[in-house]
Amino acid sequence: MSRINRRGSPDSPVYEARTGDILVRVSPAYLPEDSNPENGRWIWSYTVEIENHGKDTVTLVSRHWVITDGLNRVEEVKGQGVVGEQPVLGPREAFRYASGCPLATPSGAMRGTYQMVTAKGEAFEVTIPEFSLHLPGARRRLN
């Protein structure tokens, strides 16, 4: 079972989800300097922190993202590890990385899961909290 929370200010929100002993925290940001709204391209970055609050060492082996734009078009992205790595987190260790996402609309949302395995070979899934991608000051729309 996972628990999802949202923290932070509206301009710099932080989204959290805890699945068992694994906490995932995401902080998205709009990148106006990399975006080109005239050509229908809005670029977002997001920083993810994964914390192991358990007693077992775990390895993040793969990811599954569900990206929804402002017109409810959905794209799914699956792959090995994150940013070219399959991080190993011992007890009380954390891993942080940054990545990005282009959208064809000025708003959207992302959510997903990480597939992890313990040192004993037990596989499990960890929730990545759904987070909003909305321009600062823009009217929010439910996707």
Give the DSSP letter of residue 10: T
Express each pLDDT in 90-132 by its tens digit: 999 999 999 999 999 999 999 999 999 999 999 999 999 999 9
Give the DSSP letter of residue 139: P
pTM: 0.88
Does 54 have pLDDT greater than 80? yes
